[in-house]
Every structure is written in C-alpha cells, then in structure tokens.
C-alpha cells in the first residue's frame, strides 16, 4: 500500500489548517479508505495522551547526537503525547491516535523556551538544543514516521504549520515544503478571509515559495467568509491568471462547528439555545494548556462559557475554572498580578464553585515545591490544604477512575466513573501540618481529586471531565446529554466541505 498525500498549508497561523485537515480526514475515511493524519512538528500546549504503538525505529538518527540518540532509542513502541489537533484528526479518520501522527511536539513554557516531545516522550537533550540545529537531528525520525504511515494507509492528510512562505525559517523547515516534497503531496492553501487581505495573503505566499514548489499548490481555499460570495468576483479569476491556481472553495463562517480548538481561545459569544442558567468562567493565563477540553461546555443549552483575564470579568459568574498550565508558578504569578487571586478567593468564600484542573489544581493548594528546577516554587491560593512537589518524571497516561461521595455543587459526580488523561510533572498530597490541625482535604479519587470541607472547591488531575458523557449528564442533566458526539461533529464537517468545495476537487486530489 502506498498512500496518496493531501496536504493543507496556510497563509498564517489560525487560517483553518487544523479544521480543514480534520474535515478531510472524515471525508476520505467515509469513502471506505484507510486514512491517517500527520503533522511533522506542532507547537501547542494542547496535547492528548495516546496508547503505545509499533513502528518508528530511531536507530537512523545522526551519530553526532550520541546522548540524544540513546535517549530516543528507548522511545520505540511507547505511547505518549501528541498535539490535540492530530488526536482529533485521527478520530475523524477512524484511526487509533498514535505518536507517528505528530512525531515532534513543542510545548511553550516561556516566550523563548519550549519543552520538546519526540515520538510522544519528553527529550531533555533536544529541549536544550538550539532550535535551528534541531531540525537535522529529528528529520530522519520525522521522515520515517511519515513513510511508515504512507506505507500503511490509502490516504495521509498532512497539516502544515504557520505558513510555507516564512522565508526566515525555510533553511530549517521540517514541517511545510520539505514534508510536501517528501510525500509528493497535493496541497491546498487556505486563508482566513475574515481577517481581510486574503487575496494578498494567497498571492504573497505563492510568490514567496520556491518556484519549483509552486506546482504543489492545487487549489486556494477562502475560509470564514461572511456575506455574498458573488461579490468576490473577479478576484478569484484574477488570482488564477497570476498564479495558475484556482480557488476551489469558499467556506462560510461557521461559529458552532463543535470541533475543539487547538490554539488560542475559541469564540465565547453565547449562541446556544434557551436562557442562560449557568455562567462558567475559564481563567486564561499566558501558558494555559489543554483548553480544548472545555469545548463541550460551549455546546450545552443554558450555559455561557466565557474566557476571563481580569477580576472584573468574574462578576456574575457561577463557576470559576482554573485550567491546566505549562508553567504553573509563572501563571500563578500572573494571576496574582491581575488581582484574580483575591477575586477567586472572594468567590469561594461566598460559596461559589471553583474547579482546578491539573495546573489549576496545583494552584489551589498551599504551596508549590520545586527541588529540581522543573517549574518554580510559589505559595498557592490556599483554597485546598494540599502541597505539590514537582518531579523530573512526567506522568503521561490515560486514566479511568470513579468519584467517591462528592458534596456541594459537584455532588452529582458521586459514584460516576469517568475517563480522561493525565499530563503533569507535579505530585500532590495533603499538607501534613494542616492535617495535624484538622484541615484535611477530602480525597475523592486516590492521588487524582480532592475537595474542600465546604464542598465548593474541587481540584483534579484528570483532564477530560467535560468530554465524558456520564459526567456531562450528571452535572447538566438532559442538557448535558444533548451535546453532540465528536463523531457527529466530524460527519457535519465532512458534509460542510463536500457542499462548499467545487465538484470533483477533493476526489481529484487523491486520484491524480
């Protein structure tokens, strides 16, 4: 088997590459084809845990990186973490998510530093390496992962990163044109027309690409269009005259597609049906991670999900959620600088519901202790009598656990079995000195979830609570049961592109 490769490139980040690649995965999969997604390198703090899989021997890595190679050799057949986009693309493709689909993941911890994950596992040697020099070390692994997927599937849907016209990065490119050439991919170039300047973006990207690579572009896609598509003429025709590339789709703006967003906070306007009964505020710190797990809350009738960055925005809020963080101590310092710590404490003192997930759980405790220089020491918010110690070993695993008796606004979770995933360095436990004084957190899941005595503050390491149907129905009743399944979301997305692409274009991409 030798797959056909269809690649989605973009004029910018946020143009719609991930969304379109996901839709393509389901479009081709429902034709009975064996489909896999691929993105060579992803930069995102939104990651998912995948199971171990066979394949991808790293023995071909360059001998110059001896320590690096020894570290990565132990990685074969392990599971680990990949970018959320490739995880969802795999589900859309009706395939089991695995590390070869996103062999290199960069998780930003600061503006100038990222943790490097190769084939699902953190690699300290690569993390310390200069980013420009890193590409040649990892390219053999990236290429082999792609080759294996190409050999095992009928179609591989590849997502690029940023733009293929970032000429300052072209010499070390391992995610855009180098991948397109290697896979002999049929490429679509998508742009966000809602931002303005879409035709300039398309033409400029095409013009800055090496002349020999321009033939890879088989069609332009205008995404997030609002208005009368007839008003676009004659621009698509003029663009084709200049480039030889047709505009093959104009995709209307679609706010409620239901696919979790990978990067940036998604639109939080209330577009659900019915009156607002519950307002849920998610605190958006600079290194927020795994925000995509809250997408189901946006789809629940009567729930208004909003993103907050200031204390004033917490007014008239029923729930406050502290999400995951890639740099807990840094985000905790930012939270204090905004005055959000006092606002959250006041909300909790009034009996308001507060939920901390992973890094958010760590913030709710009394202290962060970091003897190994992993994240940083810091006093916590003091809403749970817990202490977190950071350790070099990273917990990355899928998890299934059952809540014991839960009280307060979370009482409906009592006895509910949920499944999700863990990605964290810290280990959290009861603060011994506070326990001696009688201040004890109620442990609801061993090592995973705790609640304060009043019952309104809940912290848990488990990501994915709101993606679990049983938890949604317990917390929101029949409204929670109305949230569309991911499979239904994928089907709607495939229908959408089938309707809005020029007839025959998508099939021609895999038959040329």
The runs of H, that is alpha helices, within 271-370 are: 295-298, 328-337, 340-349, 359-364
Query: What pLDDT tens digit does each residue of the chain (512 aa) get?
Result: 589 999 999 999 989 999 999 999 999 999 999 999 999 999 888 889 998 754 444 444 443 333 333 334 334 445 799 999 999 999 999 999 999 999 999 988 777 778 899 999 988 888 888 877 788 889 999 999 999 999 999 999 999 999 999 998 888 899 999 999 999 999 999 999 999 999 999 999 999 999 999 999 999 999 999 988 889 999 999 999 999 999 999 999 988 787 877 655 555 555 555 577 899 999 999 999 888 899 889 888 889 999 999 999 999 999 999 999 999 999 999 999 999 999 999 999 999 999 999 999 999 999 999 999 999 999 999 999 999 999 998 999 999 999 999 999 999 999 999 999 999 999 999 999 998 888 899 999 999 999 999 999 999 999 999 999 999 999 998 887 778 889 999 999 999 999 999 999 999 999 97
**In the CATH hierarchy, which fold is given to the domain comprising 278-483?**
Rossmann fold (3.40.50)
Q: Domain residue spans in the chain?
A: 4-256+489-508, 278-483
CA–CA dist 502, 512 (Å, integer) = 16
Which pTM value belongs to this model?
Answer: 0.87
**Closest C-alpha to 283, from 293, 291, 271:** 291
Identify the CATH number of the domain defined by range 4-256+489-508: 3.40.50.300
pLDDT, residue 273, reads 54
> Would you state the structure tokens that stand for residue 451, as one six-digit string?
């609640």
pLDDT, residue 53, reads 59
Do the domains 4-256+489-508 and 278-483 sit in the same CATH topology, yes or no? yes
Residue positions annotated with a catalytic role: 358, 463
Neighbours of 499 (CB within 10 A): 10
pLDDT, residue 67, reads 34
CB 179 within 8 A of CB 101: no
pLDDT, residue 129, reads 85
User: Dihedral angle at the C-alpha atoms of 198, 201, 206, 210, nearest 10 degrees?
Assistant: -170
CB 28 within 8 A of CB 155: yes
3 state DSSP class of 284 = coil
**Closest C-alpha to 378, from 338, 339, 330:** 330
Neighbours of 392 (CB within 10 A): 11
CA–CA dist 47, 116 (Å, integer) = 12
Each residue of 68-91: pLDDT tens digit?
333 343 344 457 999 999 999 999
pLDDT, residue 1, reads 56
> Would you state the structure tokens that stand for residue 312, as one six-digit string?
């004033």
């Amino acid at each position: 088997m030798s797959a056909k490769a269809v690649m989605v490139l973009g004029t910018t980040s946020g143009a719609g590459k991930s969304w379109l690649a996901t839709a393509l995965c389901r479009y081709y999969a429902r034709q009975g084809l064996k489909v896999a997604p691929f993105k060579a390198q992803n930069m995102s703090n939104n990651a998912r845990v995948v199971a171990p899989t066979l394949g991808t021997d790293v023995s071909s890595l360059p001998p110059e990186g001896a320590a690096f190679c020894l570290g990565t050799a132990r990685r074969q057949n392990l599971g680990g973490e990949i970018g959320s986009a490739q995880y969802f693309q795999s589900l859309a493709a009706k395939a089991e998510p695995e590390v070869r689909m996103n062999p290199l993941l960069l998780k930003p911890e600061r503006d100038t530093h990222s943790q490097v994950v190769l084939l699902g596992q953190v690699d300290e040697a690569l993390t310390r390496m200069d980013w420009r020099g890193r590409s040649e070390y990892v390219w053999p692994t990236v290429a082999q992962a792609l080759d294996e997927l190409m050999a095992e599937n009928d179609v591989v849907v590849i997502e690029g990163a940023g733009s293929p016209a970032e000429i300052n990065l072209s010499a070390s490119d391992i995610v855009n044109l180098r991948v397109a050439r290697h896979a002999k991919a049929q490429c679509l170039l998508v742009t966000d027309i809602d931002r303005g300047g879409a035709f300039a973006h398309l033409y400029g990207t095409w013009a800055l690409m090496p002349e020999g690579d321009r033939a890879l572009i088989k069609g332009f896609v205008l995404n997030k269009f609002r208005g009368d598509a007839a008003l676009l003429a004659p621009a698509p025709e003029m663009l084709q005259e200049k480039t030889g590339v047709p505009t093959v789709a104009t995709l209307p703006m679609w706010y409620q597609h239901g696919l979790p967003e990978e990067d940036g906070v998604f639109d939080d306007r209330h577009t659900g049906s019915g009156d607002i009964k519950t307002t849920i505020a998610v605190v958006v710190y600079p290194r927020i991670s795994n925000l995509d797990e809250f997408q189901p809350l946006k789809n629940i009738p009567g729930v208004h999900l909003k993103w907050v960055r200031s204390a004033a925005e917490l007014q008239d809020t029923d729930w406050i959620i502290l999400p995951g963080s890639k740099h807990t101590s840094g985000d905790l310092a930012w939270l204090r600088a905004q005055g959000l710590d006092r606002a959250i404490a006041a909300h909790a003192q009034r009996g308001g519901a507060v939920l901390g997930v992973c890094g958010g759980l760590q913030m709710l405790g009394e202290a962060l202790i970091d003897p190994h220089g992993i994240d940083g020491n810091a006093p916590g918010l003091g809403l749970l009598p817990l202490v977190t110690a950071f350790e070099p070993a990273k917990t990355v695993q899928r998890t299934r656990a059952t809540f014991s008796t839960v009280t307060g606004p979370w009482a409906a979770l009592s006895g509910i079995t949920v499944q999700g995933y863990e990605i964290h360095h810290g280990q959290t436990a009861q603060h011994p000195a506070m326990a001696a004084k009688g201040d004890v957190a109620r442990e609801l899941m061993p090592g995973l979830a705790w609640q304060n005595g009043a019952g309104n503050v809940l912290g848990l390491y488990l990501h994915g609570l709101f993606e679990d149907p049983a938890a949604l129905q317990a917390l929101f009743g029949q409204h929670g049961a109305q949230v569309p399944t991911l499979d239904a979301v994928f089907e709607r997305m495939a229908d959408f592109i089938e309707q809005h692409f020029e007839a025959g274009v998508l099939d021609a991409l895999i038959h040329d």
